[in-house]
A and B are shown apart, each in its own frame.
Chain A
Amino acid sequence: MTKEKKAHSMPSNIFFFVRLLFKVSPLLVIGEFVWGILQILPSRLISVIGVKYIIDVVTSGERLERIFSAVGIIAAVLVLSTLMSWLYREFFWNMEKEKVHYGLNKTLYEKAKKLDQESYDNPDFYNNFILTVESSSDNIQNLLGLVRNYFGNLISLVTISGVLISIDPVCLLIILVFISGFLPLSRKIGNLQMGRRIDNTKFHRRSDYFQRIFYLQEYCKEVRMNDISPLLVERYNDAADDVISNQRRYWKKISSLYMLQESGIQICGFMFALPLYLGYCVLVKESITPGDFVAAFNGAHSIAVSINFLTVWAVAVFSERGKMIEKYREFLACDFKIKDGEKVAEPSTPKEIKIENLSFTYPGNSEPTLKNINLTIKPYEKIALVGFNGAGKTTLTNLLLRLYDATEGRILIDGEDIRDFTLDSHRSRFAAVFQDFQIFSCTLKENVSLDKEAVDEKIKKALEHSGFEKKLKKGLETELLREFDDEGAMLSGGESQKVAIARAFYKNCPYVILDEPSANLDPVAEYNLNKAMTEASENKSVIFISHRLSTTVHADRIYVMENGMITESGSHEELIRKNGTYAYMFNLQAEKYRKEA
C-alpha cells in the first residue's frame, strides 16, 4: 500500500494506458487511429482543396470537363471513407471494446483480490480503489474516443496548415498568434473544473446517501414505520443546496474564462484579424485569388475546430483522464503489507497451533485490539472463544488467517511461523465461516465448494450435515439470489447460514473457524448443527466463536476474552467452578431454563 510519491506526467499516463490497450488489443488501437483520420480528414480536405480546385478551374476557364472527374473523386472518397468507418464502428469497435473491458478488468480484479484486508479499512485508499475499478470502463471508452479524435484532428491540422502555407504563410501566422495568446487559459479552466468536480463529489456523497435511503429495499420498512422521512428530505435538501452554491461559485469563474478565451480566438482571431488580412490581400494587394480566399477561409475554420479540440477540449479531458489513470497506475503498483512466505504449506492432519505474545493494533487506531495473547490449540482440539461484543474474538481469527499480520508476537503452526508460508497455501489449510458470510450469485454447488471444481456427493453430504433441507428446483445447479436469474432461489437467513456452514464441512482441511455459526438458526437447527459439527469435525481442529454458551459446553477448552485479553481459560467445568465471568454469563443464560426444568 505504499504509494509512489512522484506522480507521472499527463502524457506519460496517457501513453501508459494506450500501451495497456495496445497489449490487450493492438488492432483496436490501430483501428482507432485509422478511424480518426477517416472521420475527419476527407470532409475537411474536400472543403478546402476540393473547393479551391474547382474555383480555380472555373476562374481560369480552362478544361471545364475536369470538374466532373473532380466531383467523381470527391464522391468516391466520401463513400469509401464512410463505408469503412461504419464497418469498423458497428462490427469491430463494439466487440473489441468488450474484449478490452475484459482484459483490463481482469488485471484489476486479480490485483484487488490480493489487496490487504487492511486496505478496506483505509478510507482514502478505499475510495481511490473503488474509483479506479469503477472508472476503468469509462477510461477505456473515453480514452479511445479522445485518442481517436486527437489523432484525426492532429493529422487534419498538419495537412490543412500545409495547404494554408502554400497559399500565404501569414494566414497561419495570424492564427497561431491568437491561439498562443489565449491558450494558457485552458489550463486554468481545467483546474477550476477539477476543483468543482472534487467539491461536488464531496457534497454529492452526502446527498446520494439520503437519496439511496428512499431507493433501497432495506430501508423501506423503517422509513414507513417511523416518521423520519421529513428529516431525511431536509438533510438531502441541505446537501443539494450546497451542490447548487458550489456550482454557482465555480461556473461564474469558469464561464468568464471561457468567454475570454473564445472571444480572443474565435471572434478576434478568426472573425476579424484573419478576414481583415485576407480581404486586404484580395481587394487591395491582389496577391491571392478568390479561390485562395475561400480555401483559406474554410481552412482557417477547420484549423480553429482542430485547435479548439486539441487544446481546450482534449487538454482538459486528457489531464482529467490522466489523473484517473494516475490512480489506476498507483493502484496497480501498490505494494502489499501481507507478504507471501516462501514455504508451501502441505495438506496434512491437524498440527499444534501456538499463539505467542500476540498483540495487534488496527492501523489508525491508538488502542490495541489484542494484547499479549498466548494460547495453544492442540491437534483435534475444539476450542471456543467467548466474550463480549468487541472483545477481539473475530480479530484473533483474522490474524490466524493472515488477513492481518500481528503487530507483535507470532503464530506458529507445527512450530513454524505462519508468515513463512505462501498466503494461498496457508489460507487453504483453513475453512472459515465468518459472522458476515456472504452468499454469492452462483449455483448452490459453487456456493458450497467456493471453487470451480466440486464433487457432487461431497457437497450433498456437507449440506446434509449442516441441516440444509430446502428442496431446490435444479438441485445443486440452482442459482442462488435473483441478482441476474429471475428463477434464482432466495434463501432465508437460517438457510443461508446452513449453506455457509456446509462450506466448512466440505472443505478438505485440518482447521475450521466458525464465527457465530448459529446466530440465525432456530433451536432445532442449532441442536442438529451442534451434533453434526461434532461428527463432521472429528479429524479436525475447530475454533468457534459463540454468544450462546449452550454451544460452548462441549468445547474441549474455552477461552474468555475481555478487552483484547484472555482472562479465563479452561474446560466448561473448570470455568464454572472458578465462578468468574464465564460462570456469570453462563448462569445468566441458563437461569431461565433451569427454573423451568
Chain B
Amino acid sequence: MGPRPMIRGSGRWDKNAKVPMVKNIVFALRLVWKADKRLLLCSFFNHTAEIVFSLFVQNILFLKVLLGIIDSKGDFKEYLKNLFLFLALAVVLKGINWFSSYLRQVSTKKVLKELNNMVFKKAIELDVSCYEDPAFYDKYQRATQILAWGLFDNVCSNVASIFGGVVALLLVVGTVSAIDPVYLVFLLPVSLVFAVELFKSKQVYKRDKEMTTNNRIKAYVQRTVFLKEYSKDMRTSNIFLVLMERFKAAIEANLLILKKYGLKLFVFSMISSLFSDFIPLIGTYAFAAYQFVFEKSMTVSGFSVVLSSINSVRESTMRIAGSFEMLSQEAFYFQNLKDFFDYETKVESGRKICEKIETLEFKNVSFRYPSGKSNVLENVSFKIENGETVALVGVNGAGKSTIVKLMLRFYDVSEGEILINGINIKEYDLKSLRSSYGVVFQDYKNFAVSVYENVLCHECSDEEKERAKTALIQSGIWEKISSLSKGGDTVLTKEFESDGTGLSGGENQKISVARLFAKDFSFAVLDEPSSALDPIAEYKMYESLIEVTKGKTVLYISHRLSSAILSNRIIVIGNKTVLENGSHAQLMELGGEYSKMFSLQASSYRKEEGEEEND
C-alpha cells in the first residue's frame, strides 16, 4: 500500500509543475544511460542494498527473528543458527554495496566526460548570438552546472533511493500487515508528504530565484577581490568601499526575502512532519497501548517490531520525499540542458561549398541585434573585388565590427543581402565559408595548447611544424618562441602546465596573426591587428602582412589611419552607413569625414616637420 499512493501522487503534481518533472528526469536518466550504463545500474544496486540492509534487515527482520525465538523461550542453538544465517546475508548485501559503490565512483567521471563531449558538440553549433543573449547564456550556464555540480550523479542516486525506499517500504509494510493490518492506517498519511514537499520545494525555488541578483552581486564582489585584473584599481582607489556597500546591501535584501518566505516554509515543514512523524508514530503507540490494555493481544516481539517499523517507514519515506524534493529541483536544471540541446541554430548552413571568395558585396544591408531596439547598420552597400586591400574606418561604435560579424555569418542580415561571388551568403556551407576567411579579431584569443597547435589548430607532424614556424617568423614572434625551453612545443599557459609559458599581449597577438598566416584563406579580415604592438613591431607586422596577403583580398579595420594609406580603397563608416568610399587620394580630395580625421591625426607629426624646418 505504501508505494502506490506515491506513484499516483507524483503523477498528479507533475501536471501542475511548471517544468515537467518526470519527463525531465527520464531525459536525464536516458542521457546518463547513453553515456555509461554502469552509473545507473550501480546506483540502483548500491542504494537498494544499502537501504534494504539498514532499514529492513538490520532493524526489523533481524529483531523479529531473534525476538520470536526469545518470546517462545526457544533453544539457544537455534538462536545461534539464525545469527549465522544473518551474518551470511549481511555479508552478501554489504558486498553488493561496496562493489557497486566502487564502480559508481569510476563511472561518474566517465559520464562527466561523455556528457561534456555532448555539450561541446552542441556548443560549437550554437549561434554567436546565443553567447550575446543573456537569457540564453543563463540557461547555458545552468545547464553546465549539471556537470560542474555532478547533478547527473545526484539524479541517479535519487531515483535509486526512491526505488530502494519503495522496496524497503514494501518489505516493512508486508511485515507489519502480517502483525496487524490496522497499523497501516497510521502509515497512509505518509503518502501526503510528497505533495507537501513538492509545494515546499517550489517555494524554495521561488525564494532562491528572488535572491539570484543579490547572490550575483555577492559573487561579483568576491571575484573583484581575488581577480588579478582588479587588483591595481582596488589598491589605488576607494572602489573597495563602494563594492563593500553593494555587498552589504545584497545581504540585507536577501535577509528580507528569507524573512518573507520563512513563515510559509515553516508551515509547510510542520504539515510535512505531521504526516510523516506525528500521525504514524503517535498513532501506532496509541493503538499498541490500546491493544495491550484492552485486548491483551500484543506480544512483546510484535510490539517491538512494529515500533521499529515506524522508524523504518519514516526514514524510508523521508528518503523518498527528500529524493523527490531534490529531483524536482534537478528537473529544473535538466530542463535547461534539454533546451540547450534542443536549440535550433538560427544561422543555418547552406549546401554550396565555398572554395574561394572572389568578390564580396553588401547590398542595402540593414541590421539590428536580436535584442536591440534600433538598427545598428542601415542600408549599407559596398563591394570588394578580388585582390583588393580595403580599409574600414570610422569612429568607435560606428558598426565596423558588426559588418565583420555579418560577413562571417555570426549573424544574418535583417534586410538586404550579402553576396559572395554573386551568390547569397546564406546558400554557402557554413564551415567552408568560414574556412575561406582568415581572421584576426580585436579580442583575439589563444589557447592552452602548444604554440604550433595554436598556429595550425590541430596536432602537427614535424613537417607541419615547419609550416607553423614560417608563419611565426612572418609574424615576428619566432625569435621569442625559439628561446622558450620547449620552443614551439611550449604550451601557452602556466595554469596547469608547469613548463608552459604566459605571453604578453603583443606576443599573443602575434601568435594570432601567425594563425592567419598559416591558414589557407582567400579573404583576410583584420580587426585592429596591431593595437597591442609597439611602433616598430607594428611596422614590421604590416610589412609581413603585405607580403603574406599578396594576391589575396584583405579587409582591415584600424583606428590608425597611417595604416589605411596602405590600402587600395577606404570605406568610411558613420551614422550606421557608408559615408565615403574611395582611395586615400580621392577621399582627401573629397574633404569629407576621412580627410578631417586624417588631418587631425597627422597634425602632430606634420607640425613637427614644420618646426624642424624652422630650426
Contacts and interface: CB of A to CB of B under 8 A. Distances in A.
A240 B116 contact: yes
Interface stretch (B83-91, B153-161, B180-188): B83-91
Interface in B125-141: 126, 128, 131-132, 134, 137, 140-141
Contacts of A495: 396-397
B472 to A, nearest CB: 16
Nearest to A244: B109
B90 A267 contact: yes
| A interface residue count range (under 10 / 10 to 19 / 20 to 34 / 35 or more) | 35 or more
A6 to B, nearest CB: 26
A451 B198 CA distance: 46
Contacts of B220: 441, 483-484
A454 B129 CA distance: 38
B293 interface: yes
Interface in A40-95: 43, 47, 51, 54-55, 58-59, 64-65, 67-68, 70-71, 74-75, 78-79, 82-83, 86-87, 89-91, 94-95
Interface in B293-314: 293, 298, 300-301, 303-304, 307-308, 311
B449 A231 contact: yes
B232 A117 contact: yes
A79 B242 contact: no
B344 interface: no
Indicate the member of A89, A217, A237, A484 with the most B CB atoms within 10 Å: A484
Interface stretch (B16-24, B264-272, B329-337, B349-357): B264-272
Given A55-B304, A259-B98, A483-B220, A523 B597 contact: yes
Nearest to B104: A251
A525 B395 contact: yes
B94 A262 contact: yes
A229 B124 contact: yes
B76 A279 contact: yes
A428 to B, nearest CB: 8
Interface in B389-440: 394-397, 408, 410, 431, 434-435, 437, 439
A527 B239 contact: no
Interface in B106-135: 106, 108-110, 112-113, 116-117, 119-120, 123-124, 126, 128, 131-132, 134
A211 B87 CA distance: 48
B343 interface: no
A293 B515 CA distance: 79
Chain B's interface: helix, strand, loop or mixed, by majority?
A: helix
Indicate the member of A134, A220, A551 with the most B CB atoms within 10 Å: A220
B457 A224 contact: no
A227 B307 contact: no
Contacts of B485: none
B228 to A, nearest CB: 4
Contact of A209 (B230, B255, B496): B496
Contacts of B506: 389
B59 interface: yes
B299 to A, nearest CB: 10
Interface residues of B, number: 176
A595 to B, nearest CB: 8
B167 to A, nearest CB: 20
Interface in B47-87: 58-59, 62-63, 66-67, 69-71, 73-76, 79-80, 83, 86-87
Contacts of B265: 90
Nearest to A291: B300
A378 interface: no
B120 A113 contact: no
Contacts of A434: 232-233
B249 to A, nearest CB: 11
Given A79-B278, A94-B262, A572-B608, A235 B449 contact: yes
A47 B229 CA distance: 59
Given A94-B258, A523-B600, A593-B601, A78 B458 contact: no
B79 A105 contact: no
A14 to B, nearest CB: 24
A342 interface: no
A457 interface: no
Interface in A564-586: 572-573, 576, 584-586
Nearest to A507: B237
Contacts of A455: none
Contact of B307 (A51, A222, A280): A51
B68 to A, nearest CB: 11
B447 interface: yes
A230 interface: yes
Interface stretch (A21-29, A142-150, A151-159, A486-494): A486-494
B242 A202 contact: no
B144 to A, nearest CB: 6
A596 B91 contact: no
Interface stretch (A268-276, A345-353, A536-544): A268-276
Interface string A192-227: 000000000010011101110111011111111111
B244 interface: yes
Nearest to A518: B559
Contact of B102 (A237, A251, A290): A251
A55 B435 CA distance: 84
B443 interface: yes
B222 interface: yes
Given A202-B496, A301-B58, A522-B396, 6 more contacts: A82-B273, A106-B244, A434-B233, A438-B224, A493-B442, A550-B605
Q: Give the top 6 A-B pairs by smallest Cβ distance, nearest first.
A: A494-B396, A450-B237, A240-B113, A590-B605, A593-B602, A228-B457
7 contacts: A71-B285, A109-B244, A226-B519, A483-B216, A495-B396, A588-B536, A593-B562
